[in-house]
Amino acid sequence: MKYIGFDNKMIEILINQIGKKIYNITYEDSSGDNISFGNLVMKIDDKLIEISNNEDMNGWDKDYESAHFSCKYVDEYIPCVNNVDIKTIDINEIIKDINIIYDEINDEYYNFNYDMAVEIITNNHKYLISRGYYYSEIINISIDKEMDDIYPISRVIEDWKDEDPNRSVTVTRQIKNIKERRNLS
């Protein structure tokens, strides 16, 4: 089974944030709906961590152009698009836990796990940083919502059947604690 998303090095970056204070999430607000194109930055303690959804999926499939989640430490936030509104969601809470939500996609052509969201859990809220479509670089930022509210499995199946309505597709959504997710790659 192929895995698409955060690699083990990136998972370790995220694991190391548990117990630290997340101050805010900064992003380019391209629509006014807490939707960013390509990337965002979380300020956690004295570090900036960029989560991006604009990495090329080399080796994925020559017929498809897509993106996947990645993360890294950065020195500053550099938006993917110029001349957009930069917004900040203030949080100022301790990270209790982090989950990764991934979909397992199976059909006659593909069998893979695909990271769809990061849940950052604090004492008061759950911050969901999620994809809203497989072939898009858009990132949704939600507070106290579930992934199924953003991108339900029924829509995932429709999107995969888009080219062939007779295509047999199954999707299973999993929520794994970040420490468990480390073992999937």
pLDDT classification of 78: cutoffs 50, 70, 90? confident
List pLDDT tens digits, range 135-182. 788 899 999 999 999 999 999 998 888 778 888 999 999 999 998 876
CA atoms within 13 A on the CB side of 160: 21
pTM, full prediction: 0.90
List pLDDT tens digits, range 4-43. 889 889 999 999 999 999 999 999 987 778 888 889 999 9
pLDDT at residue 184, as a whole number: 57
List pLDDT tens digits, range 51-71. 998 766 555 555 555 678 999
Query: How far apart, in Å, are the Cα atoms of 96 and each of 20, 41, 120, 147?
Result: 8, 19, 8, 19
Query: In terms of Cα–Cα distance, which of 47, 43, 46, 49 is closest to 14?
Result: 49
- Cα separation, 52 vs 41, whole angstroms: 9
- Cα separation, 179 vs 56, whole angstroms: 26
